[in-house]
Every structure is written in C-alpha cells, then in structure tokens.
Structure 1
Amino acid sequence: MDKTTTLSRKNLHIVAIVYIYTSFNNTLITITNIKGQTILFGSAGSLGLKGSKRSTAFAGQSIADVLGKKLFILGFRFVYIQFKGFGSARKSVLKGFLGSSLKILTIKDKTNIAHNGCKAKKKRRI
C-alpha cells in the first residue's frame, strides 16, 4: 500500500517550487518558497560554462545537481517542478533533481505554444 504525503501548515517551509527555463542557448533554474520568494538561482553560466557548452544536457544536469544539494542542506525535502521552454536539457535537469534526495510532488509544463498568433521565429540553419 502506497503512503501518501500530506503537508500540514507548519511543514510548508520544507516545500519549494522549482522553475526551470530551458532555451536553445542556456538553462535557468529559479527556486522559490511557497510564497514566491526566491531562495536559490542558477544557470549554466554561473557554473563557469561559456558559449555553446551552456546549451548542453550536461550543463542542465550539473545545475540541477548543485541546486538540489543546496536545497536539501537548507532543509527542503519536497519540490514542485515547473518547466518552460523547448531546450535540450529538459530531461537531464529532471534526472539531476531525481538524483538528489528531494521528493518531487508534481511536474508541470507551462511552455507557451502559439495557435497561429504572432509570426514565429525564423527556422535555425545548422
């Protein structure tokens, strides 16, 4: 039988919200408490990665590892995760947070998808 986790009012300080924005150039992670006050922030550039290395899956997983460990040290145990953007590091960021000792309560995708609105960006030529 699976135990469900219920959170009381006094235990709200152990829950954090993780906002992950992945673009084609960088990965940004902002961690807030339930009230929306920023606790931690990190990006691939803040780890010392420069140029095209910031957009890799390795960069996303590294940021998630570092911030997950810091969050656990601060006393947080549960996280809500919200993704935004179509970057290549989405899955690896999730792997990074799964590797830390934090329990993921929900995963949401808040990426904006146009329905024939404004003109889209030009296609990349690689």
Structure 2
Amino acid sequence: MLYGKEHVRRYQETDGAEGHDWNNTVVLLLTTKGRKSGQPFTTPLIYQRFGDDYLVVASKGGDPEHPQWYKNLLAEPEVEVQVKGDRFRARARTAEASEKPEMWQVMARTWPEYDEYQKKTDREIPVVVLERVG
C-alpha cells in the first residue's frame, strides 16, 4: 500500500492512476506552504466532494496536536490541490460550526475511523473546505 512520500510521487507521476484510489477510499494531494520554512509540503489526504468544493479532515489519527499541513494552511490558506490529473489553486478554510456536522457525516461515511479518532482526543478535529480559485 502506498504511503507518505512514495504515495505523493506515484500519484504525481501517474496523474492519480496510482494513489487516487487507496484503501477503499479516494485521496487527493494537498500542497501547503511551510509557515516557518516557506517550502511547499505535499500531503495525500482522504477527500470527498461537497458541492463544488472538496473536504478533507485534519485528524492526524486522533493525535492531541493538529497536523502540520493544517497549521500551515491556517498561516497561508492559499494551497495547491491535485485530484487525479486535475491540478488547481484553492483557498482552504475550516468548516464553520453550523456546517461541520453535515460535512463530518460525509467524511465519516468514507472513512469511519474519523469518529474513533475524535473519541481519542480532546481536540476538536477540523473539517477543511477546499474552494477552487481562478
């Protein structure tokens, strides 16, 4: 099974033919700008469509700390996204309290472990909305 940097490399090389379908779900690539280094970081993340937008979850497996990619997009919400061969710029935002329950359900249907991750931590796990720009 693909994981980490190898997952990213194979996904990029094959326009997602390898790496988009992963572990009975689907994955996009999110590239954020490092809030300290300014360097680009690309992370494979489970996603779902939500209208015209894409949803991802900053779960880090239920860790008490937010994942680095989430901390990066809080500092710089302009990100790059790749879904299969479609590469685009997006603006990332954290789902608001009023919209999160529906979005969480969408994501928990595709990856039921999200509910378990939330039980493991006192941190409220954010749902991130990726809105295409340009």
- Name the TM-score class by shorter chain: under 0.3
TM-score (norm 2): 0.25
TM-score (norm 1): 0.26
Query: Larger radius of gyration, structure 1 or 2?
Result: 1
More strand by share: 2
